[in-house]
Structure 1
Amino acid sequence: MTTRSRLKIRVAKDRTELRRLAAEVLAKKIRSAIQARGRCSLALSGGSTPGPVYEELGGSDLADDVPWSQLEIYFADERAVPVDHPESTYRLVKETLLQKHPEVLGQMFRMPADAADRDAAAKRYARRLPDPIDVLVLGMGPDGHTASLFPGSPALDEREQRVVAVTAPKPPPERMTVTPTVIERARSIVMIVAGAEKAAMLSRALNGIVDPKAIPAQLARRATWIVDQEAAAGLSL
């Protein structure tokens, strides 16, 4: 594992090490939030990279040190699909992080991206979403998007609403996402990035000109970035 001091970047040698490292960081941040405030609001993202991390946190020895009864789970974004759909982030979290902790399901608040009136549902979710979030977990796509904030999206200019319905340029297109305000106000952010296909964008995000409208992941530059060696190939460490 390699650590870079100026930006908070931790590089794992492979996805197995990344899975463990990210889970350890999350467990520590959750405990710290609970020690400070009695509860922890944890907002999660979906995708192929964080799934194994959630599984490690919920299913390994790390789970023994997580005060599950004091944890509230929210979502950074969600696709407009049923809860049992393979693309559902709610389903991902239920089947990984909470597979061995079903008692926590009542403390998980689904983002209703499939509601008939998505704009109204987004406003309701924003009212439920704590401000600020204690721990926010994000990922980054090869195009630089994070949550469901894609390059050039009008949602990047949103400053009044904390949650909005959006149409993404990749399937499934209909989604709901937190806005930049939520990311900027989060007490702690963990950004998890893996894969050679993200190396060029990761280099731009961390070493290039700061322009969140072009690279939304730059909204989280202050995050703890946990990346694998493939994704870090373009970084000077």
Structure 2
Amino acid sequence: MGNTQTAKTKVESGVEDAACGDAKVPRTERGRRTLRKLLDAAAEEFGEKGFHEASVSSITRRAGVALGSFYTYFDSKDALFRALVADMSEQVKSSARSAISEGMGALEIERAGLLAFLNFAAEHKEVYRIIDEAEFVDPASYRDHYETIAARFVERLQAGAARGEFRDGLGEIEAWAMMGMNVFAGLRFAVWGLADKSPEEVAAGVNRLLAEGLLRR
């Protein structure tokens, strides 16, 4: 995906999902670009300082936006944080969706989705701090983030079972377990920057665990 298309996708997804975080969705392209700047600046500010130490004035300075303009889009720092969690959650999901193509097998889909997430997390390390902080700043956003991702795992597991690739009866337990593996694999190998394994090796290793389990055969 080229830079122009990526930027457009980020603008559209940010503006769309900011509505879930109490943003005032702009109607013009210029307004959408300004909102995108605020969300990106907020990701840097909250990622570096945390919610409580971050300030609206610092975020607007990072964004190159007038302080008064902030309130065109958000009523408060809390509203911006909710919008940012929704935006980052959508970016996590869209990175996985963009890596999946028609004709992939069930295991190949899981490997491709994890690889996309690892690459996303390596580029956006702040996502872990922001999502984790949401547990205390806005628990509803935190729970929604993980529940919607888990629901996608359930859908993929059931689709794989329907095609005869996965066994029957897979559901929430397996989905949450798989999501947990991916989250902590991302923390260890993407965010902490311990480069003894490439993203491809990590995705392949987790995929092997899904395919073969742990028991010696």
Q: RCO greater where, 1 or 2, for CA within 8 Å and sep 6 or more?
A: 1
State TM-score, norm by structure 2: 0.32
Greater helix fraction, Structure 1 or Structure 2 = 2
Larger radius of gyration, structure 1 or 2? 2
State TM-score, norm by structure 1: 0.30
